[in-house]
Copies of this chain bind each other. A is one copy, B any other.
Amino acid sequence: MASDEQSAATLAAFTERDLIGRIRARLSSPADWLLVGIGDDAAVVEPAKNRVEVLTVDAVVEGVHFDRAFVPADAIGHRALAVNLSDLAAMGAAPRLALLSLVLPPTLLLSEFDGIIQGVATLAARHGMRVVGGNLARSPGPLIVDITAIGTVKRRQALTRGGARPGDELYVSGTIGSAAAGLESLRRQLAGARSSGDDGVPAPNTGDTPLIDAYLRPAPRIRIGTLLSRNRAATACMDLSDGLSDAVYQIAEASGVGAEIDADALPIDPAARAVLRARHDDPIVRAITAGDDYELLAAVRPRMRRRLAAVTRHGDVPLRRIGIVTADRAVVLKRSTAGGVERMPLPRDSYAHFGAVDRETADATSGGASSA
């Protein structure tokens, strides 16, 4: 087949061997510790010296975690790796290698397949990690990208959720709510395009581009995580994959403490706040409970502020102090109102049942009809 024709073809026209060849071409890169790479029954690697290994696995599932109507193929690959890198960052680990398990509908275009691989390859290269193996299976349903990522950290420097102590200050990297706002922008654009009779992915509204990028191509906070771990500034750390509120509750529970979050200190980007306000009664609650911000939440002893300043200096995004760890096990949101300071339990998406379709995803996969 000619190349243009090929890209327009679906996976059904290719053999598994063809597809693995395309993956190898984009993802195989040697490393002195990689003894056997893609192409045998399994990969063989030399472990890193004087390091422990940090292992995580996370899948992104079409119709649950993303909608192909407005998430381009490279962003599917990017996000699938990014959610795993974010877990490594939360442990303070430096990424080393990944295994890529793809479950793909045969109706997928070859160009989309290549796009997914390219999204993984670009982000992997940015963090100097190798894809050492994987698996390819046919899906009779949704497209799934399942990635196992392995990183390394010095033995006593792995960050966990369980070390926060009363008096520690809570910091969050970057901004919160941006990804949720980006998702809403994408939904609106799609709904707009559909109601005006266009099909295909709409052109981005340039004003919302940074928000949309925060949703489509989140930057895992590897640099911040490894800096926090190396200079031992943090007592506990977790990523915000399920939202800031969830992370605060998880650290509090794992550490046997409580927390008080200051609403006025939350780093919500003004553009995101505007987008969220258009649809939610309370943009702050939405920003706190929304997932997909792959930022880090860290607990830091006040006397470590100088070390933290070094992390901020060498990191790629600021760390903002948003609250404090308390001995009282309540998890509280403190808000200034016209009548003074209000204290309430930190809002959380109540334990979602496994069958419950997430509100945002449901909206997203229905093309944002409810916001049209």
User: Is the Cβ of B56 less than 8 Å from the Cβ of A133?
Assistant: yes
- Bound form: Cα–Cα A353–B17 in Å: 9
User: Is the Cβ of A139 less than 8 Å from the Cβ of B52?
Assistant: no
Chain B residues whose CB sits within 8 angstroms of the CB of A106 once the complex forms: 354-355
A45 adjacent to chain B (CB < 8 Å): yes
- Bound form: Cα–Cα A46–B146 in Å: 24
User: Is the Cβ of B53 less than 8 Å from the Cβ of A47?
Assistant: yes
Nearest first, the 3 A-B pairs at minimum CB distance are: A141-B141, A12-B355, A47-B47
A326 adjacent to chain B (CB < 8 Å): no
A63 adjacent to chain B (CB < 8 Å): yes
A16 to B, closest residue via Cβ: B354
How many copies of this protein are present in the complex? 2
A204 adjacent to chain B (CB < 8 Å): no
Chain B residues whose CB sits within 8 angstroms of the CB of A64 once the complex forms: 137-140
Which residue numbers of A lie inside 8 Å of B, CB to CB?
10-17, 19, 35-36, 39-48, 51-65, 87-88, 90-91, 93, 97, 99-101, 103-104, 106, 132-142, 144, 146, 148, 151, 153, 155, 158, 160-162, 238-239, 254, 351-356
Tell me, rounded to whole Å, the shortest Cβ–Cβ distance linking A346 to chain B.
17
User: Is the Cβ of B45 less than 8 Å from the Cβ of A53?
Assistant: yes
User: Is the Cβ of B139 less than 8 Å from the Cβ of A13?
Assistant: no
Chain B residues whose CB sits within 8 angstroms of the CB of A160 once the complex forms: 36, 40
Tell me, rounded to whole Å, the shortest Cβ–Cβ distance linking A68 to chain B.
13
Q: Can you show 15 pairs from A to B with CB atoms below 8 A apart?
A: A35-B52, A41-B87, A41-B88, A42-B55, A42-B56, A46-B52, A47-B51, A58-B135, A62-B140, A64-B140, A99-B148, A101-B101, A138-B354, A141-B141, A148-B148
Chain B residues whose CB sits within 8 angstroms of the CB of A63 once the complex forms: 140
Chain B residues whose CB sits within 8 angstroms of the CB of A104 once the complex forms: 354
